[in-house]
Structure 1
Amino acid sequence: MTIERANPDGLHPTPGYHHVTKVQADMLIYLAGQCPLQPSGDLAEGGLEGQTAQVIANILTALESAGASPADVVRTVIYVASPVREDLSAVWTQLNESALAPAFTSASTLLGVAQLGFPGQLVEIDVTAAL
């Protein structure tokens, strides 16, 4: 399996992700959007930071179960239920300071949205990995 990440000439500089991720793989792994739910099904406490920490833990668990690691991630879409840019930036910073950080060097999209699926949910991340 090979993963090539690039920022082509003519595109703006990025804060860590790459504009283009090319993958030649034997297997693709698609995670369901990972929510800030604890194994009990309860919403994680601690506001945006606590929920982001739970999503990170859930993604790491899901990747490991598939035999993958954060370095195998080739695409992420991050949804934050907030119109405040500082909230989006805080999530991006927390993600890039976590054990999941290598996942965000690939093609990534960060979106502020009106709402997510569970009452009180503030963050969700969609992940694709390749092996």
Structure 2
Amino acid sequence: MSAHITRVNPPALHQTPGYHHITVVAAGRTAYLAGQCPLDAEGRIVGRGDYAAQARQVAANALTALEAVGAGPGDVVRSVIYVVSDDRETLSTVWDALNASPLGGAFDTASTLLGVAQLGFTAQLVELDLTAALAG
């Protein structure tokens, strides 16, 4: 990890499915990634109609963005996952796909998973917003 990061689950709060309620970062540099979309390098939607495929693409794009600033999954201190669905099973599918991806280590930090009505691109089902702590 590039910065001192402490993750906390207070015993008085409910158990989580892998993430932490609180992430504390020592003062330093922070990277705020734009929402990563399920687009390929040419800007085309990947995995039309397939939540897991779109989750894998946003994970790959986010990993590329993190690497561009010298960070990796362990440097992520906050994630917000947007899914076009109000179905709990669909939300779980996306959560599981992200956790199984090479970016999976990013999701043991403070995380929020949201079902939303619509995202920015036609046929877009998943978007991922990350914040990472960077070295000095």
What's the TM-score, normalizing by structure 2?
A: 0.93
Question: For 1:65, which of 64, 68, 71 is the aligned residue?
Answer: 68
SS at 1:63's partner residue? helix
Aligned-residue identity in percent: 60
1:103 corresponds to which of 93, 101, 106: 106
2: distance between equivalents of 1:4 and 1:21?
6
**1:125 and 2:122 aligned:** no
Question: 1:34-73 to 2 correspondence within 5 Å?
Answer: 34-45=36-47, 47-73=50-76
What are the superposed Cα offsets for residues 15-42 of structure 1, whole Å, 9 maximum, x if unpaired?
A: 0000010001421000000000111010
Unaligned runs of 5+ in 2: none
Distance 1:81 1:22 in 2: 30
3-state secondary structure, aligned to 2:31 = strand
Matches within 5 A, 1:62-101: 62-101=65-104
The number of residues matched between the two structures is 131
Q: Residue 9 of structure 1: which of 8, 11, 25 is its match?
A: 11
* Superposed structure 1 runs of 4+ greater than 6 Å apart: none
Runs of at least 5 residues in structure 1 that lack an aligned partner in the other structure: none
Q: TM-score, normalised by structure 1?
A: 0.97
CA RMSD, 1 decimal: 0.9
